[in-house]
């Protein structure tokens, strides 16, 4: 099952600081969570993020998962070392603490896996999974699909998503009936004036126009 994890405000510990850990840490940085990296070798990129105060690093040789107890609000343990035994030990320790767990070399014991992701912008992502059968093919599909998606989901569509997000919040406050809210959002989506504001990249004007429409309905 593909799900979108909400890690906002939570603590995540990543054990490992190599190539695989660096890729996963980069994804975590977009999740508004606290990231702690623990490893005896830590990549330059991770050190750079530490200097930018985006995460914390601890350089040490990990023998077991005892140190995990020291983290408050810990929700996720990611075991991303090149030692299969250590990854397993960390997964067991994480489970004992009631955390979600992930081992880079063991989909069987992990609570989730990573699909191949096409991020069209900060809001819209397309994920491709082969259910663990072939990561290489997931990557190949991503490379094949990315140009097609970028052709079909335009800059205007992505602006429409941002407009919809804003208007949806306001509609939830101001229109009591769900059917009425849905109709309002659909009307905005196809409204020619709004389209033309978005074509010119003018999200502010589009929002102002949509607010006027909402005002008429909520009277």
Ligand X SMILES: C[C@@]1(CC(=O)O)C2=NC(=C\c3[nH]c(c(CCC(=O)O)c3CC(=O)O)Cc3[nH]c(c(CC(=O)O)c3CCC(=O)O)/C=C3\N/C(=C\2)[C@@H](CCC(=O)O)[C@]3(C)CC(=O)O)/[C@H]1CCC(=O)O
Q: What angle do CA 118, 198, 155 make, to 5 degrees?
A: 20
* Selected binder of ligand X within 10, 47, 88, 114 (CB under 6 A): 114
Q: Does the protein bind ligand X through residue 136 (CB under 6 A)?
A: yes
Tell me, rounded to whole angstroms, the distance of Cα 102 from its chain centroid.
16
Q: Which does 81 bind (CB under 5 to 8 A by kind): ligand X, ligand NAD, none?
A: ligand NAD
Please answer whether residues 54 and 32 qualify as being in contact, where contact means their C-beta atoms are separated by less than 8 angstroms: no
* Selected binder of ligand X within 107, 150, 155, 204 (CB under 6 A): 107
The interface mask with ligand NAD, positions 82-121, x = CB under 6 A, is xx--x-----------------xx----------------
The interface mask with ligand X, positions 12-31, x = CB under 6 A, is -----------x--------
Q: Three-class SS of residue 31?
A: helix
Q: Which does 134 bind (CB under 5 to 8 A by kind): ligand X, ligand NAD, none?
A: ligand X
Q: What angle do CA 54, 146, 102 make, to 5 degrees?
A: 45
- Letter string b/e over residues 86-117, b meaning 16 or more CB atoms within 10 A of that residue's CB: bbebbbebbeeeebbbbbbeeeeebeeeebbe
**Residue 24 vs 47, nearer CB to ligand X:** 24
Q: What gap in Å lies between CA 110 and CA 112, rounded to an integer?
A: 5
Q: What gap in Å lies between CA 38 and CA 52, rounded to an integer?
A: 17
Q: Does the protein bind ligand X through residue 116 (CB under 6 A)?
A: yes
Q: Which does 65 bind (CB under 5 to 8 A by kind): ligand NAD, ligand X, none?
A: none
Q: How far is the CB of 46 from ligand NAD (least distance, A)?
A: 9
Please answer whether residues 21 and 80 qualify as being in contact, where contact means their C-beta atoms are separated by less than 8 angstroms: yes
| Residue 87 structure tokens | 């990854």
**Residue 114 vs 183, nearer CB to ligand X:** 114
Q: Does the protein bind ligand X through residue 166 (CB under 6 A)?
A: no
Q: What gap in Å lies between CA 40 and CA 206, rounded to an integer?
A: 52
Q: Does the protein bind ligand X through residue 139 (CB under 6 A)?
A: yes
Q: What gap in Å lies between CA 204 and CA 159, rounded to an integer?
A: 10
The window from 13-21, 68-76, 92-100, 211-219 that contacts ligand NAD (CB under 6 A) reads: 13-21
Q: Does the protein bind ligand NAD through residue 50 (CB under 6 A)?
A: no
Q: Which residues bind ligand X (CB under 6 A)?
A: 23, 104-105, 107, 113-116, 129-130, 132-136, 138-139, 142
């Amino acid at each position: 099952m593909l799900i979108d994890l909400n890690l906002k405000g939570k603590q995540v510990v990543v054990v490992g600081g190599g190539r695989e850990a660096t890729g996963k840490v980069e994804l975590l940085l977009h999740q508004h969570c606290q990231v702690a990296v623990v490893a005896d070798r830590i990549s330059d990129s991770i050190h750079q993020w530490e200097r930018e105060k985006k995460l914390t690093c601890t350089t040490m040789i990990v023998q077991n998962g005892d140190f995990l107890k020291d983290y408050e609000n810990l929700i996720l343990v990611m075991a991303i070392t090149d030692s299969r035994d250590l990854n397993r030990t960390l997964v067991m320790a994480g489970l004992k603490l009631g955390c979600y767990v992930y081992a880079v070399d063991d989909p069987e014991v992990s609570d989730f896996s990573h699909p191949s992701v096409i991020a069209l912008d900060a809001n819209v992502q397309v994920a491709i999974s082969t259910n663990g059968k072939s990561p290489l093919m997931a990557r190949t599909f991503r490379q094949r699909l990315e140009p097609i998606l970028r052709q079909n989901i335009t800059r205007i569509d992505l602006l429409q998503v941002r407009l919809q997000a804003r208007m949806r919040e306001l509609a939830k406050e101001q229109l009591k009936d769900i059917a009425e809210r849905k109709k309002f959002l659909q009307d905005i989506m196809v409204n020619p004036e709004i389209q033309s504001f978005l074509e010119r990249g003018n999200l502010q004007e589009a929002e102002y126009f949509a607010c006027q429409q909402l005002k008429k309905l909520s009277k």
